[in-house]
Homo-oligomer: A and B are copies of this chain.
């Protein structure tokens, strides 16, 4: 569907909470500037909310509870979806795309699991599907990955993409407090939801990792392909162990291009806590900020930093997409389509090369290191560094490994824990950012 200069671009807004109300506000306040940039006025013609009577602040004639009808209305050009979740949003958007409406959405869960069918529907109708706000809020990230780096080979993406968990880990690092009390404090301050599961168990980050990996590696990756570990098991001991080694603990979404011994490529996509050196860009990203670090063959190292959530920041990303859709309608073009030509296999976590930090309380007797080192050797895991320290009747032993298959590292740790000379496994965590 193309528009002549001057004809308004008509927007249906689905959902009008924190982000939606900011989108509506900015569309009104900046109407003139946006029209100049888009090449046509951009106007909201309908707002679907569950309970219209709960929104006295909105123009009443635009409100409806019937999203299913709004998305296929003849008067709508673009659907801006800010409801979240999978059903019934998936059906609405598919219906809208089939009816020739472009879609702008911030819905990470939907994109992570159903982008293929959404892209197919958009393609069949020749309309756009944009979703910059679905990952890292205001940070321009997906457009750079899809467009700026389209001529490069991305080899790795590592991101702090969940503000709640980064806030909690930063606070644990500052205060020395444990996970549970810090989570409670984050809830009190409004940095964690009443039900924090999606954040702290890594589901939110896993959806984002799936989206990032799909775009970076031109491969379909869904949330179920993502190895996921949250931060609930991160202890004050982990944090202090990291500090002792000049490292910080972060929950990262990691997407890597991995090549096996035969040169066959696959992708590893995972979310888990890691220790990264304090000298790494990502280590200094504190509080609720997001940051994504990208490595590409030609570009080298890049980092993108900014606010990952919040009404106005997320609205900024939504409006950027909306202007792109409008420009395409006015100019007769199309945004980027799905790029899944590489179709790389996803490597299971057990076969993914990782590095471990293992911190042990061990008996203060001769030969302990030899016993522990033998277990690593038995599993084919090469040790990069060891630190020993005496403490009264026990000693502390810290081991950092070279890269080895994750499963080998896991079984090494399991076996070490059973050694008589090992009193306690104090901290086990993967290490990133220094190979």
Contacts and interface: CB of A to CB of B under 8 A. Distances in A.
A303 B302 contact: no
Given A147-B320, A331-B333, A333-B331, A302 B153 contact: no
Interface stretch (A191-199, A233-241, A292-300): A292-300
A393 interface: no
Contacts of A22: 298
A415 interface: no
A327 B342 CA distance: 17
A307 B294 CA distance: 12
B301 A151 contact: no
A316 interface: yes
A8 B1 CA distance: 27
Nearest to A330: B334
Nearest to A312: B298
A389 interface: no
Given A152-B319, A284-B284, A302 B300 contact: no
Interface size band for A: 35 or more
Interface centre among A26, A144, A218 (most CB of B within 10 A): A144
A391 interface: no
Contact of A319 (B151, B284, B316, B331): B151
13 contacts: A37-B150, A37-B151, A38-B150, A138-B299, A140-B140, A140-B143, A143-B144, A144-B148, A150-B320, A150-B324, A299-B313, A303-B303, A303-B306
Interface of A: 22, 26, 30, 33-34, 36-38, 132, 138-140, 143-144, 147-153, 218, 281, 284, 296-307, 310, 312-313, 315-324, 327-328, 331-334, 336, 339, 341-342
Given A148-B317, A151-B320, 10 more contacts: A30-B151, A33-B342, A36-B339, A37-B339, A151-B315, A151-B316, A298-B313, A298-B319, A299-B307, A332-B334
